[in-house]
Amino acid sequence: MPIDIEPIEAYRDGYFELAGVGFSGYRDEIPLGVLGLDTGSAEVRDQDKPNPVGDGVLFGRDTLGGPTWAFDINTDAPDATSALAHASRLATAWRSGRDQTGVALPLTYHTGGRVRRVYGRPRRYSGPTPDLMTNKGKARITADFQCVDHLHYDEAQRSVTVRLVTDTSGGWVLPDQWPIDTLAGGQRQGVIDDVGGDATTPFRLQFTGPISAPWAAGPGWRVELPDLTLAYDQYVTVLTHPWALTVTRNDGANLAGALSPRTRLLQARMRPGKGEFTFGGIDPTNTATCTLSWRPAWHGL
């Protein structure tokens, strides 16, 4: 099954972007320069216990927090007026999302020919002061970005779309090659050549009607909406991202209550390597679709 990859605008290494505002580690046409960056480290939260009958400790399960990226930025402008204007644009971007519960913003970076993003919230922002450097157009800014997790995600999103076979007949997995897997009626399977990345990653599902009782499943996960019916002009989007565990219809209605009790969005992840997912439901018209979208996830830059 083909994988669609969104095009990426080609910036040089060292470029960052948050909420539409770019800043760079190079002296170029971008008037906001990164003088220094500390990407921090993810806090390790352990469940270790002292050995009650001997020396040492008994190791438990480790979980990771989200690191904080600390930026040291300056403006590259001819005078104080221009410097303050550029700093104001960055300040506006750094205040984005603060009034929205559960929203994580993407911070995109380019390094070593890679274009990836981390998700989180802009936090501390310390703007320019009326000193000599600001008056010369070289205003200094320090700003923190709190990551929601320790992972890095490809900027390019990948997706696979499959169409449901009719409920009254079986189907084949395409492309038509041996061995051919016969599927039950009302099911269709999508094959993914390579999920990408080196870490498990959350994903987005979009069920498009007309369909009743849609479901999708892959290795280690299953999402079911057993009591849901979608018309031909309706779709529902399911997000399994830790910061956005949502089920939303295209009219904005929250349908989280339509999930089956055995669906666990927080544990729904795609694994690196070759994969597949199966889509099912009731659709006599043979026009319903399911699109699975994701970004490969990485443990490092």
Q: What pLDDT, on a 0 to 100 scale, did the predictor assign at position 173? A: 34
Write down the CATH number for the domain with range 6-154.
2.40.30.200
Question: Other CB atoms closer than 10 Å to residue 193's CB: what's the count?
Answer: 12
Q: What span, in angstroms and rounded, lies between the C-alpha atoms of 84 and 124?
A: 18
What are φ and ψ of residue 257, in 5° steps? -70, -10
- pLDDT tens for each residue of 260-275: 999 999 999 999 999 8
At 85 the pLDDT is 93
What pLDDT does 165 receive? 64
Q: Looking at the domain 158-298, which fold is it?
A: Jelly Rolls (2.60.120)
Asked if residues 172 and 211 have their Cβ atoms less than 8 Å apart, the reply is: no
Contacts of 254 (CB under 8 A, 6+ apart): 246, 247, 248
Q: Which amino acid makes up residue 112?
A: G
Backbone angles phi, psi at 144, to 5 degrees: -115, 145
Nearby residues of 29 by Cβ (< 8 Å), 6 or more positions away: none
CA separation for the pair 259, 271 (Å, rounded): 22
Q: What is the pLDDT of residues 180-220, one digit of tens each?
A: 333 444 556 667 889 999 999 999 999 999 999 999 999 99
Please report, rounded to a whole number, the percentage of residues in the chain having pLDDT higher than 70: 86
Range with lowest mean pLDDT among 58-67, 70-79, 168-177, 262-271 = 168-177
Assign 263 to helix, strand or coil.
coil
What is the sign, positive or negative, of the torsion defined by CA atoms of 174, 180, 181, 182? Answer: positive
**Gyration radius of the chain over CA positions:** 24
Angle subtended at Cα 235 by Cα 234 and Cα 237, rounded to the nearest 5 degrees: 155
The span from the CA of 288 to the CA of 282, in Å, is: 9
DSSP 8-state assignment for residue 61? -
Residue 92, pLDDT > 50, answer: yes
Which among 21, 145, 146 has a CA at the least distance from the CA of 88? Answer: 21
Is pLDDT at 6 greater than 70 in this prediction? no
Domain ranges (residues) in the chain: 6-154, 158-298
Q: What is the mean pLDDT of residues 66-76?
A: 94
Residue 13, both tokens: 């290494």
CA proximity to 145, closest of 159, 124, 116: 124
- pLDDT tens digits, residue range 134-178? 999 999 999 999 999 999 999 999 999 988 764 433 333 333 333
Longest CA pairwise span in the chain (Å): 77
Over residues 57-68, the mean pLDDT reads: 90
0.75 exceeded by pTM: yes
pLDDT at 166: 45
